[in-house]
Chains A and B, each alone.
Chain A
């Protein structure tokens, strides 16, 4: 082996200035995000499952159950799609928890902790990659929706605004799942821990059926949680009509989730190894 490949540098680099630190943090985040996207593209199963499951729901509810569900004044497919958007990103976020806990188990996170990189980039890069994945998933689901007869009575503007809310919610959820994944070093356990929570949130909300038929105690829970807030706001935008209040409620949920879980995740990462 050539000695030039091995000869060590002699000393530590000088301390960095703030602006060079910000630039370096930005590039670290991009590098980590690119790594995660590559990993995602090379394990296409994950991406396929992330889109197939909601696709099956679209077909089931559009053609199998939809005929039996009456939603006054709205074609069921227009009622359904906002629910499907929310469901696909909520379940998709679990991939974040699974991926991070796999990195935790493989020792890759320990390696990252010993590199002179920005620590926040490990988490920021991961959630940035998830953002890109969610944009793709939402685009695919929209196309499928159109294929089965979904139209947006609220117009293109309403639809885009609704999809924007979905992506904001998805970003917040990926931080929640980051916080979860950092605490569980077993990918299967991370998945098992996340699924019931997401299941509960999605299926007690108005994602697929109106909550009016639920018993009062369930309705109380179902209508006061982030997935329901998102679906309600999406519908207001997509079906047309006054939407400002619902949009604010959904943004408040997403903002709150983002803030709480980004702090929790950053704290878990910083405290790993204590």
Chain B
């Protein structure tokens, strides 16, 4: 299957006076991992809730595998798996009971539900805890059970809403590995996250949303390239020194960002600027106590987009 697995067109949704989505559009290529990135309240959860038929849009439209999420909602539910932001498992059922229940309700058949539950418990490292009540699980185990529950009927499209929020690093790594496995086996995965390293590590394609609109889109590499090739991080002895260095750099046409005694400058004109930036500062302000030069991360992209209203770079 080629082409788009998910198409979102000018989607709008308000909650009272709050416009959660304000004309959001994007396409998710089939078989890819797609990262929906944005701060709290940017509309990520609203988007996946609409795509997984839990919410109705006010306007615009969306399709999943060509099926309309409103008009054909019942059929959309057959091809999607959804793991929401809160691990929605029944704490008073065992891991196995949770999965067989969801399996039956996903209409895979009673025997198949049992077999699938075993496969998934093994696949997510929950076999030994399978017959314990979910209320005895750690946060990471619950989260894995929750993702497993979204996979009972082998959905070709999977929605994960902030799947690693609140997880310890080890559980997070395990979940990342599961997402990669899913992608390798051909599942289209749309995940929301506020962690840029997560999108960087997992996503083939990223959409950054802010205030319910697309702020930026591209591959992780494209986004990083678009937002500068070099990031300088200076540390000064005191805030006054940092401030005067910021003024000097701003006068020279850079966009310095001061944070206490720290100063960050993102530059997009190649390695030549390392010397240029240093020469600009040399002799005009006290020497910094520390200097580091690195490649931009998605954090830098995100910071620039959200602090300067998307006009940067």
Evaluate contact between A6 and B187: CB separation under 8 angstroms.
Answer: yes
> From residue A106, how far is it (CB to closest CB) to chain B in Å?
6
> From residue B73, how far is it (CB to closest CB) to chain A in Å?
9
Evaluate contact between A31 and B185: CB separation under 8 angstroms.
Answer: no
Evaluate contact between B97 and A38: CB separation under 8 angstroms.
Answer: yes
Residue of A at shortest CB range from B56? Answer: A274
Evaluate contact between B54 and A1: CB separation under 8 angstroms.
Answer: no
Q: State which of B55, B85, B90, B92 has its C-beta within 8 Å of the C-beta of A273.
A: B55
Q: Which residues of A from 1 to 25 have beta carbons under 8 Å from B?
A: 1-13, 15, 24
Q: State which of B65, B80, B97, B154 has its C-beta within 8 Å of the C-beta of A114.
A: B80
Residue of B at shortest CB range from A24? Answer: B107
B165 at the interface (CB under 8 A from A): no
B104 at the interface (CB under 8 A from A): yes
Residue of B at shortest CB range from A7? Answer: B185
Q: Which residues of B from 56 to 93 have beta carbons under 8 Å from A?
A: 56, 65, 67, 74-75, 77-80, 82, 84-93
Known contacts A38-B93, A273-B49; A106/B88 CB under 8 A: yes
Evaluate contact between A111 and B84: CB separation under 8 angstroms.
Answer: yes
Evaluate contact between A10 and B54: CB separation under 8 angstroms.
Answer: no
B133 at the interface (CB under 8 A from A): yes
A244 at the interface (CB under 8 A from B): no
Set of chain A residues within 8 Å of B88, measured between Cβ atoms:
106-108, 110-111
Evaluate contact between A10 and B105: CB separation under 8 angstroms.
Answer: no
B122 at the interface (CB under 8 A from A): yes
Known contacts A6-B182, A8-B155; A1/B102 CB under 8 A: no
Rounded to whole angstroms, the CA-CA distance of A20 and B157 in the bound complex is 25
Rounded to whole angstroms, the CA-CA distance of A114 and B177 in the bound complex is 25
Set of chain A residues within 8 Å of B65, measured between Cβ atoms:
11-12
B166 at the interface (CB under 8 A from A): no
Known contacts A6-B151, A39-B93, A273-B56; A116/B82 CB under 8 A: no
Set of chain B residues within 8 Å of A274, measured between Cβ atoms:
55-56
B164 at the interface (CB under 8 A from A): no
Q: State which of A6, A10, A15 has its C-beta within 8 Å of the C-beta of B185.
A: A6
A147 at the interface (CB under 8 A from B): no
Rounded to whole angstroms, the CA-CA distance of A3 and B88 in the bound complex is 25
Known contacts A10-B156, A116-B74; A111/B149 CB under 8 A: yes
A267 at the interface (CB under 8 A from B): no
Evaluate contact between A7 and B77: CB separation under 8 angstroms.
Answer: no
B52 at the interface (CB under 8 A from A): yes
Set of chain A residues within 8 Å of B79, measured between Cβ atoms:
9, 11-12
Evaluate contact between B123 and A5: CB separation under 8 angstroms.
Answer: yes
Set of chain B residues within 8 Å of A3, measured between Cβ atoms:
181, 184-185
Task: Specify which of B85, B88, B119 lies most central, judged by the most chain A CB atoms within 10 Å of its CB.
Answer: B88
Set of chain A residues within 8 Å of B185, measured between Cβ atoms:
3, 6-8
Q: State which of A1, A38, A116 has its C-beta within 8 Å of the C-beta of B77.
A: A116
Q: Which residues of A from 218 to 272 have beta carbons under 8 Å from B?
A: none
Evaluate contact between A4 and B85: CB separation under 8 angstroms.
Answer: no
Evaluate contact between B186 and A12: CB separation under 8 angstroms.
Answer: no
Known contacts A9-B153, A38-B97, A111-B82; A28/B186 CB under 8 A: no
A-side residues, CB < 8 A to B, are: 1-13, 15, 24, 27-28, 31-32, 35, 38-39, 42-43, 106-108, 110-117, 121, 273-274
26 A–B pairs (Cβ distance < 8 Å), ordered by A = A1-B123, A1-B177, A2-B123, A7-B154, A8-B156, A8-B186, A11-B156, A12-B65, A12-B67, A12-B79, A13-B78, A38-B92, A38-B93, A39-B93, A106-B90, A107-B85, A107-B87, A107-B88, A108-B88, A108-B89, A113-B53, A114-B52, A114-B53, A114-B54, A115-B106, A274-B55
B-side residues, CB < 8 A to A, are: 1, 49, 52-56, 65, 67, 74-75, 77-80, 82, 84-93, 97, 101-102, 104-107, 119-120, 122-124, 133, 149, 151, 153-157, 177-178, 181-182, 184-187
